[in-house]
Chains A and B, each alone.
Chain A
Amino acid sequence: MLRTSTKRALVTAALALLAVACGKEGSPPVKGPRPDQLPHYQVAPGFSLPESATWEKAKRRGHLIVGAKEDQPYMGEKDPASGRYSGFDIEIAKMISASLGFDPASVQFRTIASANRETALQNGQIDYYVGTYTINDKRKKLVGFAGPYYLAGQSLLVRTDENDIKGPKDLAGKRVCSAAGSTPYQRIESDHPEADLVAYDTYSVCVDNLLTYQVDAVTTDDTILMGYAAKVPDEMKVVGTPFSKEPYGIGVPRPDNALRFAIDDALAAREKNGDWQKAYDVTLGLSGRKATPAPPIDRYPAS
């Protein structure tokens, strides 16, 4: 055992040496929201929410821990080099942090995969979750939803040279990719059984398959698709009108109604003072698409 660990240490050391010896500072050029263009959110001074256990815990910790996605350009994306998160969802998370009395720069983001969102909220890994999280009744039994803060809809992403697909009706015999087990996947499966469905664990693999002509279309919420299209506009485009309604909410631990209502208030205020629009303009807005007006906030009673 000693020998192996020594060897392993040697290999690691050699690799580290190699890396330090030839590493360039900074990070590779990326498209996406520029850090210097991001809006600044006013921190609410003296904000206090003693009836929320989550808020109290965050106060003792000194900052919030927020769950997000890491592979959705312009929504929630993690830069591999710097580890920084950016996108519309990230901005929403930051403005709420400011409204809850925490410096938005101090928010600690954590990547949570779709399948584990409820778990992460239930066992307190994260304080709240902002990441293309559609509100529905089944999920409401597991977590609380503040918002909605955006109304997305299922749409189709195709290559720019594709002229045959204009909507879900044109999918007969076409290979369509979506995330395994996701709601968009199940909708195509039940409403358009004539389409040839392909499933992968993440959308970035679907997009990769689209670019390598493995599939003909990728389907999910238009927000996610617009983000990808905006990264390589020469190769991909979003077509048709959205064919579903996906109100995005902010997931909070289910028993913590105080936190839910506080975030509802924060969203309403940020929509009113223009921060919401500013955040949209520097992120998703860069894809050239106008924001769908934010839907009214649903303050459903505690149950």
Chain B
Amino acid sequence: MNVLTDNFALYGKGFLGTVELTVYASLLALVLGFLMASCRVSPVGSFRALGTAWVTVLRNTPLTLLFFAVLLGLPRFGLVLPFQLFAVLALGCYTSAFICEALRSGINTVPLGQGEAARSLGMTFGQTLTTVVLPQAFRSVIPPVGSTLIALAKNSAIAGAFSVTELLGTYKTLNELGYSVIWSFVWIALGYLIITLTISALFHALEKRWGVAR
């Protein structure tokens, strides 16, 4: 018990580190994922090829390897960035591939007739996209995007194994200070549960508000 009270500041720092990492990486993943999903449904062949290559390669890359390459490889190009940013980059790129697939299948769930009907009403491409296709796609992608972001929060633990500014990383310091390892881990686990359950609740609320009635 006193592991938590004695090291509340350390845990707090680690917890905030994980939250920060999760939020920034999520934003990057959502933006990149959206771009790549647009590429994958675009009528231009080379865009589609780029999107497919991005998704195929990143989905089949172990995240540890990606961290290894980004963390130790990019500096070799003379790219000097703080560690946190590298971690966001690796996590964001990795997750963007999964977000892309979720969005793409969301767009694919919109029936063909909807677009055709919109066009026959004389709507432009922009109108079709923003008022007909995307709102419907958005509803059906809430659950898969939610589980992808939960996975991202869990994957941020890998960053903790490389550096300290993260929840899992705190165990190293606590271990060195001689605290009970089991209790350190109990509190670390609780921290992760809080984060994943928050995201889960958030997306449940989103789904309730906008989701498709099933």
Using CB atoms and an 8 Å cutoff, list the residues of chain A in contact with chain B.
Answer: 115, 138, 141, 180-183, 186, 198-201, 205, 208-209, 212-214
**CB-CB nearest 3 A-B residue pairs:** A181-B172, A181-B173, A212-B75
Q: Is the CB of B127 closer than 8 A to any CB of chain A?
A: no
Min CB gap B164→A, angstroms: 5
Residues of B within 8 A of A209 (CB): 75
Counting CB contacts under 8 A, is B83 at the interface? yes
Q: Do most interface residues of chain B lie in helix, strand or loop, or is the interface mixed?
A: helix
Residue-wise, chain B 167-182 has the 8 Å CB interface mask toward A (1 for contact) of 0010011011110000
Question: Would A208 and B72 be within 8 Å (CB), given that A115-B172, A180-B169, A198-B83 are in contact?
Answer: yes
| Least CB distance, A35 to chain B, in whole angstroms | 30
The yes or no answer to B163 lying at the interface (CB within 8 A) is yes
Judging by beta carbons under 8 Å apart, are A200 and B163 in contact? yes
Q: How far is the CA of A25 from the CA of B112 in the complex (A)?
A: 63
Contacts of B175 in A (CB 8 A): 115, 181
B162 within 8 A of A: yes
Task: Choose among B75, B161, B178 the residue that contacts A214 (Cβ–Cβ < 8 A).
Answer: B75
When distances are taken between beta carbons in the complex, the residues of chain A under 8 Å from B177 are 138
A137 (CB) vs chain B CBs: closest residue: B178
Residue of A nearest to B175 (CB): A115
Question: Which residues B165-214 have CB closer than 8 A to chain A?
Answer: 169, 172-173, 175-178
Q: Are A201 and B162 in contact (CB under 8 A)?
A: yes
Inside 8 A of B78's CB, which chain A residues have their CB? 212-213
Assuming the contacts A209-B75, A214-B75, asked whether A200 and B176 have C-beta atoms less than 8 A apart, the reply is no
On whether the beta carbons of A186 and B176 are closer than 8 Å, the reply is yes
What are the residues of chain A within 8 A of B71 when measuring CB–CB?
Answer: 205
B162 touches A200 (CB 8 A): yes
Closest B-chain residue to A118, C-beta based? Answer: B175
Interface string of B53-93 (1 = CB under 8 A from A): 00000000000000000011001101010010000000000
A residues near B164, Cβ cutoff 8 Å: 180-181, 199
> A80 CB to closest chain B CB, in angstroms?
16
